[in-house]
Structure 1
């Protein structure tokens, strides 16, 4: 019996199938020492704990220099020059690290999108095979129904 569709078998599909990619492993293995260091630092500073540390450090600094006895104040209000210098140094150090980490995340996102696209292509091909098998079954059932009706 000749069928309209001749889909591949499961074994044939498995031989054609390329192995799935792991984008996170590909990216992590391609990072230089400094890139991986930047990612680790960025993970640390991108937390609520780091935000709270900076918030309480700033609040403590400002409150101390406003309300402490005059002889204990080391950064006079309202300028807080030392605090501004230290804050700017922290920003100058962290901003390039954040940019490096964002570049890393961008590359990772592109690889992940490519891997998702490949998975979707495989799924689409497998769905087409399943539909072809179902159409073959429909043809076979219709043929059987016609044979039964003739009797």
Structure 2
């Protein structure tokens, strides 16, 4: 790969030759996740939804409603059973909170990779735009030099413009 001299503007061909292929950040992230990270993301994506919240809410309302309103012989959970239900609910919350935080950290790392990739693309695009602007400026200077050499007036080229050269 030829090196561009200091201070020289690279040609478009040189810029394209130096271009690295774009990375697929999503695929890289998925490939680098351990099975535990994949499980954490899967659980975080499922538990962090309104559907899961509504499922737990409906289950709790049905459980409590049945044990308060059903006839005594049909109640499957006597009064001390509510303590067990609260204990189970707390255990679930204690286990889910760190798991959700792990999943959010994994998802956060993926977001950081995407942001880094976006920056890389933006820097590359800025370099290419700068090269194109330099080439356009050179073309304009060359055309102006040719117009002067041919002694053509600007209003002959662009009659709708009333600018004297």
Name the TM-score, length of structure 1 as normaliser: 0.84
Say yes or no: does 1:126 pair with 2:128. Answer: yes
Say yes or no: does 1:76 pair with 2:79. Answer: yes
Q: Give the deviation of 1:118 after TM superposition.
A: 0.6
Pick the aligned partner of 1:94 from 56, 73, 96: 96
- Structure with a larger share of its residues in helix: 1
Say yes or no: does 1:26 pair with 2:28. Answer: yes
Distance 1:7 1:61 in 2: 73
Structure 1: gaps spanning 5 or more residues = none
CA-to-aligned-CA distance 1:15-34 (integer Å, 9 cap, x gap): 11112122222222111111
Give the alignment's Cα RMSD to 1 decimal.
Answer: 2.3
Aligned pairs for 1:100-119 within 5 A: 100-119=102-121
**Larger relative contact order, structure 1 or 2 (CA cutoff 8 Å, min sep 6):** 1
Q: Give the deviation of 1:48 after TM superposition.
A: 2.9
Cross-structure match for 2:57 = 55
| Count of residue pairs brought into register by the alignment | 146
* Higher-Rg member (1/2): 2
Q: Detail structure 1 runs of 4+ shifted over 4 Å in the superposition.
A: none
Structure 2: gaps spanning 5 or more residues = 1-6, 154-165
